[in-house]
Structure 1
Amino acid sequence: MTKLTDTKRAYDKLADLIDQEIRKRSGSAKDLERFRQSLDVAFYLLGWAQFEYLVRKEAEDQVSNNARAHGLDGHAWRFLKENMKSLSVRRRLDIIFHADQKARSELDRDYDVRNDAAHDYKHLPQEVRDISAWLGKLETLVDKF
Structure 2
Amino acid sequence: MESFVNKETNRREFVKTAGLAGAGIIFATTTSTLLTGCASITYVSQATRIPKDAYTIVNNYVDVELAKVPELSSVGGSATIEDPDLENYLLIARTSQDEYTVVSSECTHRGKALGYDHENNRFQCSSLGSSKFRLDGTVIEGPADKPLKVYNSFISQDLLMIEVG
What TM-score, normalized by structure 2, do the two folds share? 0.25
Greater relative contact order (Cα 8 A, min sep 6): structure 1 or 2? 1
What TM-score, normalized by structure 1, do the two folds share? 0.27
Q: Which has the higher helix share?
A: 1
Larger Rg: 2
Q: Which has the higher strand share?
A: 2
